[in-house]
Structure 1
Amino acid sequence: MVEGAGYRARVVDLELRERLSAIGAVLIEGPKACGKTETATQAAATIYRLDVDAAARSAAAYAPDVLLDSPAPVLLDEWQVAPSLWDHVRRAVDDRSPEKGLFIMAGSATPRDDINRHSGAGRIGVIQMRPMSLLESGHSSGAASLAALMDGDRVRGRDAGLSVPGIIDRVCVGGWPALLDATPTDAGRWLRDYLNQIVLVDIQELGTRRRDPENIRRLLASLARNVATSARVTALAKDVGGADGPVARSTVDGYLDSLHRLRLVENSPAWAPHMRSATPLQSSPTRYFIDPSLAVAALGQGPKQLMADLNATGYLFENLVVRDMRVYAQRSGGAVHHWRDQNQNEVDIIVTMPDGRWAAFEVKMNPDDADKAAATLLSFSQKVDQAKVGKPAAMGVITTTGFAYRRDDGVSVLPIGALGP
């Protein structure tokens, strides 16, 4: 997926074009360095980089019309450094109605006083952007389309040739555009510097109260050890406090809020279908980083350590799969959830679509575990009250390598290197 002079196309490119043709302004949200600016630049006629352009920041404060009256679409990059722009953009969209595609706002953090952002409804559309999926980075064939699966098609094909060590490299390197050609060693250095910047600068800039850097580092390490689980805040508080005892829950909640506002973590909410079983469901979210490489960097690990402990690496692989499935599901307007009951029966990924269709997926590093995972999915589908939520549009086992195909029991086997939107 490559376009233009050095620009590698993203799944959200088409979504951005569609939104610009339908609404006055579009906000692209995502973590730093995930490619928001490059993607927005492809569609913009005028570009203001507010984080580095002092003149543009002054204009935003004292004469915003000078910026907003530029040839459209106008890109306001890192708009959150001048949060008053939100209301000015909203008013400009109203004043110039019914014109569409006037402004693109890109930001890597949510301002603290974001209560008024709800007033952007109908004027400012929001697009979530994440680090590159394997399809976008050139490591997936895309032969197994999620949209085709949701339509009931029998997808088939093979992966792009990644071995298990190659997939582990992608877990360590991540989907950051700056690291496309980096080795895991070089990527590890970059990512540790990235997290250090987050801890020492970005989180501190979000509020008036200083956050303890060592506490934040311990929280990142705890989240990394608990990735793909529903670890409770009380457990995280113990890890953060260490030998001195757990820190206050409110302290951890504040740290987690900062990480969410910086788009560094993205949990999977629980799916609550109508169930035939009387077993209560768990409503706590499953914790993930926006990209598994952040978990690897927070733990100071690399490919050698991950290869030596494939059981633990399976949780990081699940984070990789969830990242990609979010990218692919978003293209069709879908969302990613998880399901777990109080007996600890669970399904790793539930994809839901706006029209009510849903699909269930299990994640397994070892392709030989497909039989067990398929049995889990078939048992789960029988617990769902299909008279109320319908039959699953698809069920699949997402694994590391091999071919994409549908089994006789209706469950598809899907190597991550074959997935696409």
Structure 2
Amino acid sequence: MLARIWALMIKEFLAILRDKKSRFVLIGPPLIQLLVFGYAATFDLSHIPYAVYNEDSGFAARELLGEFQGSRAFQQVATVTRQGQIAPLINTGKALLVVHIGPHFTEDLLRHQPAPVQVIIDGRNSNTATLAMNYANSILLRFDQRWAAQHHWGRPPAELQVRSWFNPNLLSRWFIVPGIVALLMLVVTLLVTGLSVAREREQGTFDQLLVTPLTPGEILAGKALPGILIGGLEGAFIVLVAVFWFQVPFLGSILALGLGMLLFLLAAVGIGLMISSLAVTQQQGLLGAFLFLVPAIILSGFATPIANMPELVQDLTYANPMRYFLVIVRGVFLQGDGVSNLWNQYWPLAIIALFSMAAASWLFRHRI
């Protein structure tokens, strides 16, 4: 028995090593995934863009803000002069948090009275928001201790008031579950379309399909539509589960989410058909799908912030359709976004979908 198993193992290894594409699948994906995991997958929060809303001209406020400016993790991106400027900074993601110092901060400290400091944090990504809040807490605690020592206070003087927008309780479920909509839609769509043409070739029915009256374009459409329908049903089911089972708020427009899902599915189907057109066997199609899936998930901002990645890796994310759809689905769920708020995500997704479908069509005709 062991001899038969050993012989089968030798045969499988020889079959893989003799195939050029299979050899590439064995060598290329591990190297690519190693680079992606090594540089992109990090939970360290090294870049915290923040804005300052300082209503106090006293020296205590300047000292406190100097603590933020002296921190390597914090980068000031804006100075707020009125309350209405805060919302656009948080909504667009330009600032992760806003430090708000009231007009009587220094006066209250000199009178030995509590001096509140407000930190407004973007709570859409609860993990990032929690880390940023902890960093801000450490800076305020350091300031408190130094002020208390210098002015002979018996207790820390400042009080921290935190408001987390879009996710008041910082529930990670509210951040993760909408992202799963994009993740599973991509997985299901790639698997359905990535194996379709390869399955025909492996089973020997591809030549029979070519002699039918169907044109190559019709064959390609027939291969694409099942993936779009299955992916759409999968996405709709997960949205319903997210709303009614996980109690994730759905504040935005159904039309905005539907349009984003359609463009995302077109992009995913195009990529899946490209993989399937290049694959000879179902195994190659499966490996090709996972070769795309792993970097696409990591480079999408699903778990780690894109801003924390190296600049070169951040540039690569612009070609990833999942990056844009994650913004759409989380914006619709948590921010209440409509179609007009998401045009800057729709048009890159539409370009990727158009390019991927055109490339899939060319590869399909070329392989024929």
Q: Same fold (TM over 0.5)?
A: no
After TM superposition, the score normalised by the length of structure 1 is 0.21
Larger CA Rg, structure 1 vs 2: 2
Structure with the largest fraction of helix: 2
Question: TM-score normalized by structure 2?
Answer: 0.23
